[in-house]
Amino acid sequence: MPEKFAAAINCIDGRVQQAVRSFIITNFEVDHVDKITEAGANKVLAEGLDKIALESIKKRVEFSVNGHNVKDVFVVGHFGCLANPADEDEQKKQIIKAIAVVSSWNLPVENILGIWVHKGLKTCSLVMP
């Protein structure tokens, strides 16, 4: 049976990587999670101001989707982000907007979902539009 992959567009913050990986593997029946990291990724995607970072994220997501047959892509935001000091409510709005941006790329995936990493950086939940 081939291994299943998901992709997470996540902050570079090493404190959140394990929580995101565990959440995705546990809840979405995948074996591996490709990490596409950018400082404050949800903000970068939602605002669209840094065109170079935006294009870089897109290319890395496409590489993951095409190379590993990814069917689920996640946009992640987290408590205590240095690059995105917005509060939880604002970051969740950014995640929802970022999902729309990633959706506009017309990737051959089944789901583009949001994840919030809670205070303590050990637990996650889905962010629903």
Each residue's pLDDT tens digit, 30-80: 999 999 999 999 999 999 999 999 999 999 999 999 999 999 999 999 999
Tokens at 8, concatenated: 């997470």
Q: Is the distance from CB of 62 to CB of 107 less than 8 angstroms?
A: yes
User: Which domain, by its residues, includes 78?
Assistant: 5-127
Residues across the chain: 129
Residues 6+ apart with CB under 8 A from 75: 9, 41, 42, 45, 95, 98, 99, 102, 112, 113, 114, 115
Each residue's pLDDT tens digit, 77-119: 999 999 999 999 999 999 999 999 999 999 999 999 999 999 9
What domain count does the chain have? Answer: 1
Output the domain CATH number for residue 110.
3.40.1050.10
What is the pTM (predicted TM-score) of this model?
0.97
